[in-house]
Amino acid sequence: MGFIVNYKIHIGNSIEQLSEYFAQLLNDKINNSEDHFDIALSGGSTPKNIFEYLAVHHKNTIQWNKVKFYWGDERCVPPSDSESNYKMAYDSILHKLQIPTSNIFRIKGENNPKLEADIYSSVVLNQLNSVNNYPRFDLIMLGLGEDGHTASIFPNQISLLNSDKIYSTALHPGSGQTRITITGRVINNASSVVFIAVGKNKSKVVGEIINQKGNYKDYPASFINPLDGELYWVIDEEAASRISQLNRKTQL
Ligand code: 6PG
């Protein structure tokens, strides 16, 4: 699996501006899709801000009825738990847009993790078109941890990038919390992958990944490089502050 190569960078000056950019990107792709649009959502505070913005400013401008919602990862907790990525998305956007449950494919964090990882892999395999023998999401949203993790692929479990599973279990290295995560090959099989990262605390990891300097080879996010899809880095000025001028060339 190769390092990041072809990507587009959008650097915004606020979470509102980044959210608006993401909304336009999403709208264009949904409008150009055929019968429906398969998106995998991310957890994290940055995606939450974007969901809340979309629910307020784009309730009626995006064809949400075409969208089927999946998750890139989930914490192994009940859907009512404050840690649940499903709960975060439900409360911040899905409930507000009145998305029908038939279009929501929740990872059941309350189930046995290994069993649910296999069940959810089958759900995704059955629901999505397959290309290169892996399911193809139309768009996968990804956050970025300061340690270079994305979804729940952590540096100490970097082999999940090359797993032949579609979803696998993972352990948060700090809390020991069990997670269910999409694997690297499925991410890199997507039509579009959008990283969203904001804040000074992400500048080091973003800079090392984009510049391919420092510890980038230790970061799972460095290996997110869609085979024949588009890769976007949607970041604010603080997170972008250590990207070299040369590597800002692809800025949109
Ligand atoms: C999760 C996400 C995780 C998250 C990053 C960034 O379930 O928490 O999958 O990858 O996106 O840790 O989170 P923040 O945006 O909150 O920094």
Q: Which residues sit opposite 220 in a β-bridge? A: none
179-221 per-position pLDDT tens digit: 999 999 999 999 999 999 999 999 999 999 999 999 999 999 9
CATH topology of domain 8-248: Rossmann fold (3.40.50)
252 CA → ligand 1 middle, Å:
24
45-55 per-position pLDDT tens digit: 999 999 999 99
Neighbours of 68 (CB within 10 A): 18
- Portion of the chain with pLDDT greater than 70, in percent: 96
Angstrom distance (rounded) from CA 93 to CA 113: 26
Q: What is the mean pLDDT of residues 69-78?
A: 98
Q: Which atom of ligand 1 is nearest to the CA of 142?
A: 11
108-154 per-position pLDDT tens digit: 999 999 999 999 999 999 999 999 999 999 999 999 999 999 999 99
Whether pLDDT at 251 is above 90: no
Q: Which atom of ligand 1 is nearest to the CA of 72?
A: 9
Residues whose CB is less than 8 angstroms from the CB of residue 112 and which lie 6 or more positions away in sequence, other chains included: none
Across the chain, which distance is largest between two alpha carbons, in Å? 47
Mean of the per-residue pLDDT values for the chain? 96
Q: Which residues sit opposite 182 in a β-bridge? A: 167
Angstrom distance (rounded) from CA 37 to CA 28: 11
pTM, two decimals, is 0.96
- In 87-239, beta strands by DSSP E: 130-131, 134-135, 139-142, 167-171, 178-182, 192-197, 230-236
- Whether residue 175 contacts residue 183, with contact meaning beta carbons closer than 8 Å, is answered with no
36 CA → ligand 1 middle, Å:
26
pLDDT, residue 252, reads 60
234 CA → ligand 1 middle, Å:
14
pLDDT, residue 246, reads 85
**Among the listed ranges 1-5, 31-35, 158-162, 234-238, which one has the minimum average pLDDT value?**
1-5
The residue whose CA has the least distance to atom 14 of ligand 1 is: 44
133 CA → ligand 1 middle, Å:
28
Whether pLDDT at 230 is above 90: yes
Q: Which residues sit opposite 231 in a β-bridge? A: 193
- Whether residue 134 contacts residue 166, with contact meaning beta carbons closer than 8 Å, is answered with yes
